[in-house]
Amino acid sequence: MDNLGPNGWEGPVYDPSDHTLLRWEAGAVQDRKFPVDNGAFAFASELLASTIIGTRYWPTDISGGENEFIGLIVDKKEDIEPLCYNCYANCSVSVA
């Protein structure tokens, strides 16, 4: 699901030398703090009992909600751990 957008790919772009986050390539990057589709991230399930408190884990009843969900786990985009760097095939990120 992360192979979307006007350029045919969405995801984080990292500096190849030190793997720091440079920018996001995404159709609606300006509208979202975490421009990641729900099929493009993973998280440690123990966060559902520790970091995210309550019985409702998905924070919205409307379509979307990825931005809000990730915001429950991390504070800023730089806290997201990439599972690959500048990989344009099946790249995902981890918010754990």
Would you kindly state where each structural domain of the chain is located, as residue ranges?
Answer: 11-94
Residue with tokens 């019985």: 55
pLDDT per position as a tens digit, 6-65: 566 667 778 878 877 788 777 665 677 777 766 666 777 777 667 776 666 676 777 777
Prediction pTM value: 0.61
Q: In whole angstroms, what is the distance from residue 39 CA to residue 60 CA?
A: 17
Region 86-92: mean pLDDT is: 51
Residue 83: how many other CB atoms lie within 10 Å: 14
The answer, yes or no, to whether residue 69 has pLDDT greater than 60, is: yes
Tens digit of each residue's pLDDT (9 = 90 or more) over 57-67: 676 777 777 77
